[in-house]
Amino acid sequence: MARIFMKGCEANAESAVRAGCRFFAGYPITPQNEIPEYFARRLPEVGGNFVQGESEVASVNMLYGSAQTGTRSMSSSSSTGISLYSEGISFMASARIPAVVVNVVRGGPGIGAIQPAQQDYLQATKASGNGGFRMIVLAPSTVQECVDMVYEAFDLAERDDNPVLILADGVLGTMMEPVELPEMKSDEEVAALKAKYYEKAIVGHPITDRKLGVPGSVGTGQEIRNIEAAAMYKTWDKDIRCEEYMTEDAEIILASYGISARISKAAVKDLRAEGIKAGLIRPITVSPFPYDVFKNLDFDRVKGILDVEMSIPAQMKWDVEYAVQDRLPIHECLRSGGQIMTKEKVMEEAHALVKEVL
């Protein structure tokens, strides 16, 4: 298959179309504008619908509306825009609506900065809205992974009747890399996907026959729904994905996800060249988080962990600490406010860790 040179945002959008996405609603915000721009041009070509909503709140509710008909639907925004999606995402999780949301993360909190960051980790993985619901959250570190994850996200969303979040960042959104695109689902396949959903979709049934789209109700109804959802979240152990790079004999471990992870991986290679036994653990699903990979480390051999994130304060470090407890020192290598992680910075912090623990 031929390689195509594509911008992360556009690759995301094209992959979604190929997965059968036929509805997109969104509202402009940097650095994800090329996603709606691409959909605006592309969706009419395949008989889909694009709407630029009057706001984020309107857009996420259009997403809810479209997704509950069984049409594969997606939206994207960035950080402060995703905060405005909270209510809609929570409602979709409550009503068990399958939809895909992409967060191309920028600086924060608040309006933050338009430059890339990884400042939304805890929001994405722990509480994207009220009510304690959970989502599968995939964290790509290359444009190719953006493509592959968006394509798969629709299947995961429909399997679980639950929204799925792609946690990217401004570098992945704006950078260009060669990608191989997945197969385009045919009109027949797209129609079959929608037909499969018909029984659950909130069209053409009396309200009492609805299988989905019944958010909380009075009495015991809400608790039953919550018990069902919690049971479903527990099935996600099989979905945990994690990349381990040169960890077999590692004495220090770099823990990092998304864009920072690929930079950390390059640093591991350089550290190895210096004779330092470094390794990388990269959660690919940041929710569900690969706690066991950290729990199962050989704590006699590994002497320390370096948590590498484009967030100040550190956020993924909470999950690493939860797994490791106080068995290892965990150092931080952080950038924020639009400052992009560099290999040089990772090397500097890794050397400081080595000096202290080895």
Partner 1 sequence: MERDLIAAGFGGQGVMMFGTLLAQGTTDATDKQVTYFPSYGAEMRGGTANCYVAISDDAIGAPVMDQVDDLVIFNDASLEKFIGKLKKGGTLFLNTSIVKTRPDRDDITIVEAPVTEMALEMGNAKVLNIIMLGVYVGYSQVIDKEVILKAIEHKIGAKRPQLVPLNNEAFEKGLEIGKAARK
- Annotate each residue in 214-253 with x if it binds partner 1 (CB under 8 A) or - if it does not, as one string: ----------------------------------------
- Which of residues 30 and 222 has its CB atom nearest to partner 1 in the complex? 30
Which position among 51, 190, 267, 297 is part of the footprint of partner 1 (CB under 8 A)?
267
CB of 313 to partner 1, least distance (A): 22
- Which of residues 95 and 181 has its CB atom nearest to partner 1 in the complex? 181
Alpha carbons within 13 A on the beta-carbon side of 69: 10
CB of 295 to partner 1, least distance (A): 27
- Which of residues 229 and 276 has its CB atom nearest to partner 1 in the complex? 276
- The answer for residues whose C-beta is within 8 angstroms of residue 128's C-beta and 6 or more apart is 82, 85, 86, 89, 90, 135, 165
342 binds partner 1 (CB under 8 A): yes
How big is the site for partner 1, counted in residues (CB under 8 A)?
Answer: 28
- Among residues 49, 91, 52, the alpha carbon closest in space to that of 71 is found at 49
Identify which range of 194-202, 211-219, 250-258, 335-343 contacts partner 1 by CB under 8 A.
335-343
Identify which range of 35-43, 161-169, 187-195, 256-264 contacts partner 1 by CB under 8 A.
256-264
CB of 174 to partner 1, least distance (A): 6
Q: How many CB atoms lie within 10 A of CB 238?
A: 6
111 binds partner 1 (CB under 8 A): no
272 binds partner 1 (CB under 8 A): no
- Which of residues 25 and 146 has its CB atom nearest to partner 1 in the complex? 146
81 binds partner 1 (CB under 8 A): no
Q: Are 143 and 172 in contact (CB under 8 A)?
A: yes
* Residue that is written with structure tokens 């956020």 in the block: 315
Phi, psi of 205 (to 5 degrees): -120, 155
Pairing of β 330-334 and β 304-309 = parallel
Phi, psi of 105 (to 5 degrees): -70, 135
Tokens of 218: 């009075």
Identify which range of 55-63, 156-164, 219-227, 257-265 contacts partner 1 by CB under 8 A.
257-265
Q: How far are the Cα atoms of 124, 208, 237, 243 from residue 287, in angstroms, in the given order? A: 8, 33, 10, 14
Tokens of 179: 């990608």
Tokens of 357: 């623990």
- Annotate each residue in 163-202 with x if it binds partner 1 (CB under 8 A) or - if it does not, as one string: -------xx--xxxxx------------------------
258 binds partner 1 (CB under 8 A): no
What DSSP assignment string belongs to 34-75? HHHHHHHHHGGGGT-EEEE-SSHHHHHHHHHHHHTTT--EEE
31 binds partner 1 (CB under 8 A): yes
Alpha carbons within 13 A on the beta-carbon side of 162: 21
Identify which range of 3-11, 127-135, 226-234, 324-332 contacts partner 1 by CB under 8 A.
3-11
Distance CA 82, CA 103 (A): 7
Identify which range of 60-68, 224-232, 289-297, 336-344 contacts partner 1 by CB under 8 A.
336-344
- Which of residues 202 and 263 has its CB atom nearest to partner 1 in the complex? 263
Handedness of CA 176, 259, 151, 114 (dihedral sign): negative
CB of 348 to partner 1, least distance (A): 10
262 binds partner 1 (CB under 8 A): yes
CB of 133 to partner 1, least distance (A): 33
- Which of residues 193 and 261 has its CB atom nearest to partner 1 in the complex? 261
- Report the Cα–Cα distance between both ends of the chain, in Å, rounded: 46
Contacts with partner 1 by CB under 8 A lie at: 3-5, 30-31, 114-115, 170-171, 174-178, 259, 262-267, 269, 340-345
